[in-house]
């Protein structure tokens, strides 16, 4: 692997056969997460593909010319032509391999794969999930000198990392950007000594053996496992929703409603969460339009009465969102009547989507005792129905799901584990 600069780009990249180029930055957690994977893959594929790195901050003109918008960004070239598609942000090993293999003959790919040797690593505790609950558990465990590894399919932070601002986290007078609060939590836990395996593919989870396989070939074993996989908001699937998440579309009223003071918002949904959160949002917003797919609300009667009696709330029944677009500071929500197919556009300052949440338990949902909504049941020490398996944060069965409650869960589990191991 070689480090290059702008002056060498023509020769090393455009005049070479097969190349992968990493635009990286300093003080960049995603870049740090990529580094070890990139080094490892350069050993496996380096005989066929040239692996290069370039420091984005010292080569800004080239980065701008190539349209590099984030760090890290991987670019793949074959005979001077960009191929395979760029990768950026929290880049997974499997995505890099997919692009590399697309550049090579099939028989060569199989030969390289045959050289990959499975590895096994042992720890005292595995934490699966790097949101506030998992990060806090990691912090307390490493301070207790418990050998801990933290695994996540994304970068550390969980849903908080995509939250615009957080103004109700104790200890901060001014509102904190969600990504910065997550970053500080992550750095504190990492500096303490917790091992990070992030932006990885979790191939399998065996709670009985207490083994987790990541990236197909690495088996991680432990004496205890903490599940901190969190939840994922249900999405509408409408065009533009994914792109505007955190840029006008929110899934948390407690987090973001306060930033819509005297503004107009749209709420998608009509169940308990949608109706109750709409009532809360109108403490700040001047007008709220609720879009619901059925001909009546599905929330409880008391919540419905509050919505109907709230002069700020207007409800459009039997409509579903079809697309979300940005026009300056405004969000354009295109909706369609499910019966007449009539469509119209709603102009607002922001959109909240409340059509339910789902716990992230696909890899082990049949192994643990769950509540009626699919969340993991735990006792007061965060123990689950299986020995040595704990769960914390939004993935567990509880009344309130906030950053502070996840942090408390992580603290409790870590202290219980540390006491038992020591």
User: Do the domains spanning 119-232+357-421 and 241-353 agree at the CATH topology level?
Assistant: yes
CA torsion 261-267-272-275 (nearest 10°) is 50
| Antiparallel, parallel or unpaired: β 2-4 and 50-55 | parallel
Please tell me the distance from the alpha carbon of residue 256 to that of residue 164, in angstroms, as a whole number. Answer: 7
Structure tokens given for 316: 């459009």
Other CB atoms closer than 10 Å to residue 227's CB: what's the count? 32
Which of 76, 81, 80 lies closest to 103 in space, CA to CA? 76
pLDDT one-digit tens code per residue, 4-49: 999 999 999 999 999 999 999 987 888 888 998 999 999 999 999 9
Dihedrals phi, psi of 46, to nearest 5 degrees = -65, -20
Mean pLDDT of the chain: 94
CA torsion 390-393-397-400 (nearest 10°) is 150
Using 50 as the pLDDT threshold, list the residues of the chain that sit under it.
Answer: none
- Single pTM value for the model: 0.78
- The CATH number of domain 2-114, selected from 3.40.30.10, 3.40.80.10, 2.60.120.260, 3.40.190.10: 3.40.30.10
Structure tokens given for 71: 């760090």
Other CB atoms closer than 10 Å to residue 301's CB: what's the count? 8
Instruction: Spell out the CATH class of 241-353.
Output: alpha beta
Query: What pLDDT does 164 receive?
Result: 66
Query: What pLDDT does 275 receive?
Result: 92
Question: 295 near 305, Cβ under 8 Å?
Answer: no
| Antiparallel, parallel or unpaired: β 231-233 and 357-359 | antiparallel
Question: Partners of 256 in the beta sheet?
Answer: none
Q: Would you kindly state where each structural domain of the chain is located, as residue ranges?
A: 2-114, 119-232+357-421, 241-353
Question: CATH for 119-232+357-421?
Answer: 3.50.50.60
């Amino acid at each position: 692997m070689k480090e290059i600069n702008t002056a060498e780009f023509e020769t090393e990249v455009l005049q070479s056969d097969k190349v992968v180029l990493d635009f990286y930055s300093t003080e960049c957690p995603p870049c740090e997460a990529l580094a070890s994977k990139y080094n490892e893959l350069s050993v496996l594929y380096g005989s066929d593909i040239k692996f290069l790195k370039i420091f984005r901050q010292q080569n800004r003109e080239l980065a701008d010319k190539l349209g590099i918008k984030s760090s890290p960004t991987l670019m793949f070239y074959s005979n001077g032509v960009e191929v395979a598609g760029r990768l950026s942000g929290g880049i997974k090993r499997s995505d890099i391999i997919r692009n590399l293999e697309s550049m090579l003959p099939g028989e060569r790919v199989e030969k390289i794969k045959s050289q990959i040797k499975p590895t096994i690593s042992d720890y005292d505790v595995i934490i699966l999930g790097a949101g506030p609950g998992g990060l806090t558990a990691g912090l307390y465990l490493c301070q207790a000198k418990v050998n801990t590894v933290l695994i996540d399919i994304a970068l550390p932070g969980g849903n908080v990392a995509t939250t615009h601002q957080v103004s109700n986290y104790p200890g901060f007078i001014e509102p904190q950007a969600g990504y910065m609060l997550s970053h500080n939590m992550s750095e504190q836990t990492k500096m303490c000594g917790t091992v990070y395996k992030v932006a990885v593919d979790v191939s399998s989870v065996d709670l009985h053996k207490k083994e987790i396989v990541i990236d197909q070939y690495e088996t991680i074993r432990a004496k205890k496992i903490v599940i901190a996989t969190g939840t994922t908001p249900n999405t509408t699937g409408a065009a533009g929703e994914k792109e505007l998440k955190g840029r006008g579309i929110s899934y948390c009223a407690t987090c973001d409603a306060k930033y819509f003071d005297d503004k107009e918002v749209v709420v998608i949904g009509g169940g308990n969460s949608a109706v109750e959160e709409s009532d809360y949002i109108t403490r700040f917003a001047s007008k709220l339009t609720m879009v619901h797919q059925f001909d009546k609300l599905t929330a409880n009667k008391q919540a419905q009465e509050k919505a109907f009696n709230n002069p700020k709330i207007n409800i459009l029944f039997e409509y579903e969102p079809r697309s979300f677009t940005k026009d300056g500071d405004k969000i354009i929500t295109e909706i369609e009547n499910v019966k007449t197919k009539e469509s119209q556009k709603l102009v607002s300052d922001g959109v909240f989507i409340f059509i339910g949440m789902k716990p992230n338990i696909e890899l082990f949902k049949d192994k643990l005792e769950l509540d009626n909504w699919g969340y993991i049941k735990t006792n007061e020490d965060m123990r689950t129905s299986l020995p040595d398996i704990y769960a914390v944060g939004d993935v567990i069965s509880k009344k309130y799901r906030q950053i502070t409650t996840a942090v408390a869960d992580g603290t409790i589990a870590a202290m219980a584990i540390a006491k038992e191991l020591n």
